[in-house]
Amino acid sequence: MSEIYYTEDHEWILVEGDIGTCGISEFAQEQLGDIVYVELPEPGKVVAQNDELAVVESVKAASEIYAPVSGEITESNDELVDEPGKINEDAMGDGWFFKIRISDAKELEDLLDKAAYEALIAGQR
């Protein structure tokens, strides 16, 4: 069974076993506008929860992307380097940034579920 969690910084992680697929939320891509550049982490990189590990730039602003959990990067979505607009088209699907092997599943308890995240962004719209 897969579950999705969110951070207060608008990253999401879809957890399937010990692998999490991560990206930015629909709300985040809406706020950024047209995304023109993305910098992704290298597979094999080991990160701690809340480490900065990617950058996304739009016509409006640049934003850092943080690790929602600790672990090792297993894969990056290299298609985004040539087609960063995929993030705008499908932020929660084809626009994923990286996959991470979760080293401490307890950290997921620090994240928001969908209802809590919806409540968070309701106050920011």
**What tens digit of pLDDT does each residue of 27-64 get?**
999 999 999 999 999 999 999 999 999 999 999 999 99
Handedness of CA 1, 78, 68, 112 (dihedral sign): negative
Domains and CATH numbers, the chain: 3-117 (2.40.50.100)
The b-or-e profile of 73-87 (16+ CB within 10 A means b, else e) is bbbbbeebeeebebb
Q: Which of helix, strand or coil describes residue 33?
A: coil
**In this predicted model, what pLDDT tens digit does every residue of 94-122 receive, in sequence order?**
999 999 999 999 999 999 999 999 999 99
**In this predicted model, what pLDDT tens digit does every residue of 58-68 receive, in sequence order?**
999 999 999 99
